[in-house]
Amino acid sequence: MIEHGYEAVAHEAGLPELPNLVTVMNSLWPHQPVSQFLHRWENVVFAWALAAGLVAVFAWSTRRLTLVPGRLQTALETIVEALEGLVTSILGHEGRRYTPFIGTLFLYIVTMNLAGLVPGLKSPTSSLNTTVGLAVCVFLYVQWTGIRRQGVAAYVKHFLGEPLFLAPLNVVLHVLGECIKPLSLSLRLFANITGEDLTIYYLIGLGLMCVGGTLLAGPPFQTLFYPLAIMFSLIQALVFSLLSTVYISLMLPHEHGQH
């Protein structure tokens, strides 16, 4: 039954993937409304569950902040300071106001990327729907930032460009450029995380082949890839966040965009 459910998921996605808690539940109870619902919205379920986990961790760890921080508070403050330094290095001192958005984006993407390394979980970022959703959020935030910081007139003038008689061409080029940004963000993240998951899948399959496929587990070849997978997951989250910060800088007034 588990094999049948696993093959169904792989067939639906078009790519092989490892079973997780939701696919196993759907295989054991395929006719239960709850398991069918979770199976249908699998990526959304994991994305929301990981978001809730992040909120719970930060809420619990910051409930009693002290002047002399403990280990957990020190670790969190170090992460926040590093993210703030990253954003302000691109946007200047005023970049602090954008740190909450970029920092949340980075931590959320890292968590989703690394989830696929935990048995029973899945990386929601291996789904194009998830990465497109993240990219659309960045796109809307960037446009809203441009309108709020420049004003409607300057925002429209940015799209018209100069000279004005080339405005029809400039508008088309600028709109295409803005639309390509979320497309690039989503495809890059999706392709890299999917590649990681596929590598782990085939390494596990290689381990099973070594024992003739008669056991539930073979040599853990996939653990050799875990350090690289962790590094790639961090890099992809960092690239996504850095590019988002750069896109924000391009929408700021000229004097701020020079930093």
Token pair recorded at residue 246: 């750069």
> CA-CA distance, 145 to 147, in Å (whole number)?
5
Average pLDDT rounded to a whole number, residues 190-217:
77
Whole-number percent of the chain with pLDDT over 70: 86
Lowest model confidence (mean pLDDT) among 33-47, 163-177, 213-227: 213-227
Coil, helix or strand at residue 235:
helix
Question: What's the pLDDT tens digit per position in 34-75?
Answer: 888 888 889 999 999 999 999 998 888 777 777 777 777 788
> CA-CA distance, 233 to 108, in Å (whole number)?
11
Close Cβ partners of 103 (under 8 Å, ≥ 6 residues apart): 79, 80, 83, 84, 87
* Closest to 42 in 3D by CA, of 68, 5, 76, 97: 5
Close Cβ partners of 135 (under 8 Å, ≥ 6 residues apart): 181, 182, 183, 185, 186
Q: Domains of the chain: which residue ranges?
A: 1-40, 49-257
Token pair recorded at residue 57: 């961790």
Q: pTM score, two decimals?
A: 0.84
Among 66-70, 169-173, 185-189, the range of highest mean pLDDT: 185-189
Cβ pair 159, 170 in contact under 8 A: yes
Average pLDDT rounded to a whole number, residues 191-203:
88
Reply yes or no on whether the pLDDT at 12 is more than 60.
no
Question: What's the pLDDT tens digit per position in 102-141?
Answer: 999 999 999 999 998 888 889 999 999 999 999 999 999 9
Reply yes or no on whether the pLDDT at 240 is more than 80.
yes
> CA-CA distance, 223 to 49, in Å (whole number)?
25
